[in-house]
Amino acid sequence: MKTIKVDNVVIQCVQGDITKQPDVEAIVNAANAYLKPGGGVAGAIHRAAGPELEKECSKYAPIKVGEAVITKAYNLPNKYVIHCLGPRYGIDKPEDKLLADCYINAIKLAEENKITSIAFPAISTGIFGYPIEDATKVVLKTVFTLVKRITYLKIIRFVLFSEQDYIVYCKYLDELGGSYYEK
Ligand code: ADP
Mutate to test the pocket of ligand 1, among 161, 167, 169 (most ligand atoms within 8 A of CB): 161
Give the residue, by CA position, lying nearest to ligand 1 atom 1.
124
The Å distance, Cα 2 to ligand 1 centre, comes to: 20
Pocket of ligand 1 (CB under 6 A): 17-19, 30, 40-42, 44, 86, 121-128, 159, 161-162, 165
> Does residue 177 surpass a pLDDT of 90?
no
CA–CA gap between residue 16 and residue 5 (Å, rounded):
21
Per-residue model confidence (pLDDT) at position 115? 98
**Do 135 and 174 touch, CB atoms closer than 8 A?**
no
Number of Cβ atoms within 10 Å of the Cβ of 83: 25
| Beta-bridge mates of residue 71 | 81
Could you please state the CATH topology (level 3) that the domain comprising 2-177 is classified under: Leucine Aminopeptidase, subunit E; domain 1 (3.40.220)
Per-residue model confidence (pLDDT) at position 175? 87
CA–CA gap between residue 147 and residue 112 (Å, rounded):
15
**pLDDT confidence band for 18 (50 / 70 / 90):** very high
> Does residue 164 surpass a pLDDT of 50?
yes
Per-residue model confidence (pLDDT) at position 183? 41
pLDDT digits (tens, 9 = 90+) for 130-157: 999 999 999 999 999 999 899 999 999 9
- The phi and psi torsions of 85 (rounded to 5 degrees) equal -100, 110
Got the DSSP string for 16-64?
Answer: S-TT--TT-SEEEEEE-TT----SHHHHHHHHHH-HHHHHHHHTT-S--
The Å distance, Cα 4 to ligand 1 centre, comes to: 23
Angle between helices 132-146 and 163-177 (to 10 degrees): 40
pLDDT digits (tens, 9 = 90+) for 100-132: 999 999 999 999 999 999 999 999 999 999 999
The Å distance, Cα 126 to ligand 1 centre, comes to: 5
